[in-house]
Amino acid sequence: MTTLTETTHAGGFLVWEAFRDYTRETITVATGTLEPGTVLGRITASGKYAAHDPAAVDGTETAGAVLWGKADASGGDTLAVAVVRGPAIVNRHDLVFAGTPSEAEIAAAHAALLGAGILVR
């Protein structure tokens, strides 16, 4: 018998949102190949987004959005959709973090998302 494995899919992390036209925006992803549910930070100098990095000092150290679908910016900037504000609820088990953040860094990212109205459950 064949075993099927379900991979992440667009919006799979989302539990609830008030109005999709309010909570989501088209953003510019600056770098990387990112999966749906990736926690993002906003680069202060450019306003573009990249994977949240707690060790950074360019703005991405603060979590501020969650990527809706896959984004491939490996060859340069690309447009993507992200949940950038609430009210919204996301599943903590479906969020994707770049690298290997500590539990404290993940908790800080969850708190930062809550500041944007995105509740992590």
Render pLDDT for 61-103 as a digit per residue (tens, 0 to 9).
999 999 999 999 999 999 999 999 999 999 999 999 999 999 9
Whether 65 is in a domain gets the answer yes
Whether 8 is in a domain gets the answer no
Please report the pLDDT score of residue 4 as a whole number: 85
Q: To which residue do tokens 């479906």 refer? A: 94
CATH number where 85 lies: 2.40.300.10
Structure tokens of 81? Answer: 């959709």
Q: How many domains does the chain have?
A: 1
Please report the pLDDT score of residue 68 as a whole number: 98
Whether 10 is in a domain gets the answer no
- Percent of the residues in the chain that have a pLDDT greater than 70, as a whole number: 100
Whether 91 is in a domain gets the answer yes
Q: Mind listing the pLDDT tens digit for each residue in 3-14?
A: 888 888 899 999
Structure confidence at residue 114 as a pLDDT band (50, 70, 90): very high
Whether 40 is in a domain gets the answer yes
Whether 2 is in a domain gets the answer no
Domain of residue 71, residue span: 16-120
Q: To which residue do tokens 């998302």 refer? A: 113
